[in-house]
A = this chain, B = another copy of it.
Amino acid sequence: MLTLIYLLAISAEAMTGALAAGRRNMDIFGVSVIAFLTALGGGTVRDILLGRYPIAWTQHPEYVALVIASGIAAVLISRHMKRLNRLFMFLDALGLIAFTIIGCDVALAMNYHPLIVLLSGMITGIAGGILRDMLCNRVPIVFLRELYASVSMLVGLLYIGLFTLKIDHDLNVAACFALGLLLRLTALKRGWRLPAFNYRHDMH
């Protein structure tokens, strides 16, 4: 079930990356690279930071093929994507939660400290989007936008908490999806965001 959601999620993330690349007038190759990094970049950064080799996608070439195909498909049908906006927001939220849980699981299995487990979940959840934005030459949207990283953090905290309490795993995962979807979709609807700073003194 988590694997199915994961596959859906990496496809959806690849599509958002591809559309961002398409907006920058990139060619089909640029679109593929950005699709790949958006979908699989978070897990890659996590594996490198935790020293978990071989890196996940190097053992699953079918994931690589899936995200590149999804990215190219997205730009080919981009004129129809506007109508799918809501579906995408939903898939993106599912993906954020699935990535966070998977990232926590990886670090838990390697016996890292709970704070590092939480970071592992958040990195898996959001680093792909950060890489996408760096390559598209813009300040990462996740640092500016409505609750996104915060959702990843709260889901991670809940997951680690229930895991420590030895709650049944399926129940734990279900609770994480319920909390995450509720928070993310409400944040999107209401335009919630964290307080931003606007510090002007040019010290550096």
Contacts and interface: CB of A to CB of B under 8 A. Distances in A.
A25 B58 CA distance: 37
A64 interface: yes
A50 to B, nearest CB: 7
A27 interface: yes
A181 interface: no
The secondary-structure label for the interface of chain A is helix
A10 B139 CA distance: 24
A19 B202 CA distance: 9
Copies of this chain? 3
B29 A150 contact: yes
A64 B116 CA distance: 9
Interface residues of A, number: 68
A51 interface: yes
A43 B195 CA distance: 30
A54 interface: yes
A16 to B, nearest CB: 6
Interface in A60-110: 61, 64-65, 75, 78, 81-82, 85, 88
A90 B23 CA distance: 32
Contact of A143 (B33, B61, B193): B33
B27 A193 contact: yes
Contact of A25 (B65, B81, B85, B196): B196
Interface of A: 16, 19-31, 33-34, 44, 48-51, 53-55, 58-59, 61, 64-65, 75, 78, 81-82, 85, 88, 112-116, 119, 130, 134-144, 149-150, 153, 193-204
